[in-house]
Amino acid sequence: MKLKRLVTSIVLMLALVTAMLGADKKPDDNFIYDSVREKLASDVVVKGGAIDVDVKDGVVTLKGHVQEPKQKSKAESLAKKVKGVKSVINNLQIVPQ
């Protein structure tokens, strides 16, 4: 009975330590890139667009063309919401069709 409690306690402590270590880990640039691309592609305003995404140390740079100012601002807003993003450099150009 004591052994079972000891094992249970050790397992719970390991789970807690693992959760704490994982919570402090910041998303890497690849995760941020994938998340930003997914948000841009699935948004009805941005519609994926001709937007290139670069990520360096949590700083997202958006480049390319959109048709309307609201697409440019929405793309920036979406990128800022991704976990791990420190800042967004919005170099999108508005090119009406």
- Give pLDDT tens digits for 32-51: 999 999 999 999 998 856 89
Rounded distance between C-alpha atoms, residue 91 and residue 53, angstroms: 10
Helix residue ranges per DSSP H, the chain = 2-24, 29-42, 69-80
Domains of the chain: 26-94 (3.30.1340.30)
Tokens matching residue 81: 């919401």
Residues of the chain with pLDDT under 70: 1-9, 12, 17-25, 48-49
What local confidence, expressed as pLDDT, does residue 18 receive?
Answer: 67
- The dihedral formed by the CA atoms of 94, 90, 44 and 26, expressed in degrees to the nearest 10: 170
